[in-house]
Amino acid sequence: MAATRREFLRTSALASSLLLVPKFLHALDRGPGLARLADAPGARRLIVVQLSGGNDGLNTVIPYKNDLYYKARPTLGIREASGILPLEKDLGLHPTLKGLKGLYDQGHLAVLNSVGYPNPDRSHFRAMDIWQSGSGADQVVSTGWLGRYLDSDCSDCQLPYHALEVDDTLSLALKGATRKGLALKNPGKFHQLTQNRLLAKVSQQTAPAHHAQVDYLYKTLAETASSAEYLYDKSKIYKSNVAYPNSEFGKNLKTTAELINSGVESRVYYLALSGFDTHVRQQEQQQRLLADLGDGLAALAHDLQQHNQWDNTLVLVFSEFGRRVGQNASNGTDHGTANNVFLLGGGLRKKGVLNDAPDLANLDQGDLRHQVDFRSIYATLLRDWLGADDAAILGTGFEHLNGLV
């Protein structure tokens, strides 16, 4: 494989059209190492699942024994007789989340209620920026919390495939000041794009006299081409026969499992499930999305368990905000504040429902008050799961959830 890569880089349109060949290109030409992440002592990976649009947490983890819940949602509230899946602390999962209930029964699910931050923002774009950057509502930060992890604490994460987003574009969360992750949906198509189009296009537009620009382009293209070839070669090792949901999200989870089980060393994976902005006719839309989420994550866990990759994997599921406690006139819910967060994995030390249910008798102008700052979760995962310096990445002052992982 190394010989093939050297031949490609020597004969590519870019290399043949430019006179300057930086030294680092030859270093990248040797290709990344092939050691499995699972073979490294204590090595762990994080999978982040983003529920875009603002998932309604109260109809996801349901306070089904609280009369105030049904008073606020006379038609939208989910009744126990509908098949609510009981947890603890008088809470239950939405009836379609049977996959998550199975993981809960195995001790592989933790639920945190009322997660948010001070002075919450109800704009989708701004709220998502806050969660992805790991910043406060009064800050504007141009890097992501996982990108800064790559910058500061991931010494073996020099190449972009060490943080992968299974999507067409890279989110802010994976963008650091000096290092960034890599976005792709299909390793084969991505490999073809980098080999046949990207290099040729840049070679036609680049003048050799601008050595600094050429240097940067060489580095970016060489890293991308090297990573694309590596991921494509790896992706051919394992093809999953586990039944995932027949949806875009299900396909992306399957791709993630195939990359992990093939030995790709990525420390971070990032995925999104969209469509949770349920202002109108929420029941049908959320039911479909939550079934996709629960069945997909159960399939992922089963796939990784078959290959001894579940215990060193942690899945974080979040949404940019929850919904208002009261239903609206369109049988939906409007933008709210605090929400629940899920953590899944075989290595959880604390399991089940980790804190009290939302206090529906003590609302902030109709919205939930947050009990847990989301940055405390980030700080805990960075320090205790990824072995990083969370204070350098997030700043100080965030309480750790000790003993969680």
Q: pLDDT tens digits for 263-277? A: 999 999 999 999 999
**Helix (H) / strand (E) containing 295:** helix 282-305
Q: pLDDT tens digits for 223-258? A: 788 889 999 999 999 999 999 999 999 999 999 999
- Chain mean pLDDT for the chain: 88
> pLDDT at position 212, please?
61
| Cβ–Cβ < 8 Å for 381, 46 | yes
> d(Cα 364, Cα 325) in Å, to the nearest integer?
10
- Residue type at position 250: G
> pLDDT at position 192, please?
83
Q: Is the pLDDT of residue 381 over 90?
A: yes
154-162: long-range contacts, CB 8 A cutoff, minimum separation 24: 154/179, 154/267, 154/388, 157/267, 159/32, 159/223, 159/226, 159/227, 159/230, 160/223, 160/224, 160/227, 161/32, 161/227, 161/230, 161/231, 161/264, 161/265, 161/266, 162/265, 162/266, 162/267, 162/268
Q: Is the pLDDT of residue 58 over 80?
A: yes
> pLDDT at position 197, please?
52
Q: Is the pLDDT of residue 211 over 90?
A: no
Handedness of CA 322, 327, 330, 334 (dihedral sign): negative
Range with the poorest average pLDDT among 164-178, 195-209, 321-335: 195-209
The structural domains of the chain, ordered by start, are: 45-198+238-394 (3.40.720)
Handedness of CA 363, 369, 371, 377 (dihedral sign): positive
SS3 148: helix
Q: Is the pLDDT of residue 352 over 50?
A: yes
> d(Cα 267, Cα 118) in Å, to the nearest integer?
30
To the question of pTM greater than 0.95 for the whole model, the response is no
Q: Is the pLDDT of residue 166 over 50?
A: yes
> pLDDT at position 35, please?
45
Q: pLDDT tens digits for 6-24? A: 444 444 433 333 333 344 3
pLDDT band at 191 (very low <50, low <70, confident <90, very high): confident
Q: pLDDT tens digits for 73-95? A: 999 999 999 999 999 999 999 99
| Cβ–Cβ < 8 Å for 165, 190 | no
Query: Among 234, 228, 253, 216, which Cα is nearest to 161's?
Result: 228
What is the CB neighbour count within 10 angstroms for residue 129?
20
Residue 353 Cα distances to 187, 283, 317, angstroms: 37, 24, 15
